[in-house]
A = this chain, B = another copy of it.
């Protein structure tokens, strides 16, 4: 009856896998502890022995997502070594693909921050810190690409990135939509000058 392959992973991993999928797909507040333990086939006490609270589990989910997002970013920029302008554009092309994925449900960090509005919530702090990290990474790329005003390009691109996440979930941009990548290319070229094609 149990899911053959994953049934023999340690309980902690099964819990985190299940929680990540449910939190992302249905929302953090909408998913209760009981649902997670039922779906992961784990005892309630196994959950509370591995995580001190639901908040703690949410933080673990976000931390893992941050690591995965960082790895994704690194993979994309590694395809254009030494070419920051191409790296920026490639990030938006990859983002456009991700948005088209059937399991796409928006940015998990934006969603978490939207659901958990208490300024003291540690999960919220994690999500916002990640946004700042993305901002810093974009800023370094903008500087390296020789943008006239790196602050402005960085802000514009992060706007576009957030917009792609939000629009990909709420609207349906339709498959093959090139608005994300084309808008990014226009903004990047406008900020860096048309020098060297």
Contact = CB atoms under 8 A, between A and B. Distances in A.
* Interface size of A as a range: 35 or more
Given A114-B106, A166-B165, A166-B166, A171 B152 contact: no
A66 to B, nearest CB: 14
Contacts of A162: 162-163, 166-167, 170-171
Residue of A156, A158, A161, A164 with most chain B CB atoms under a 10 A cut-off: A156
Nearest to A163: B163
A115 interface: yes
Interface of A: 25-27, 29-30, 106-107, 109-111, 113-115, 117, 127-128, 131-132, 135, 152, 155-156, 158-167, 169-171, 173, 177-180, 182-183, 186-187, 190
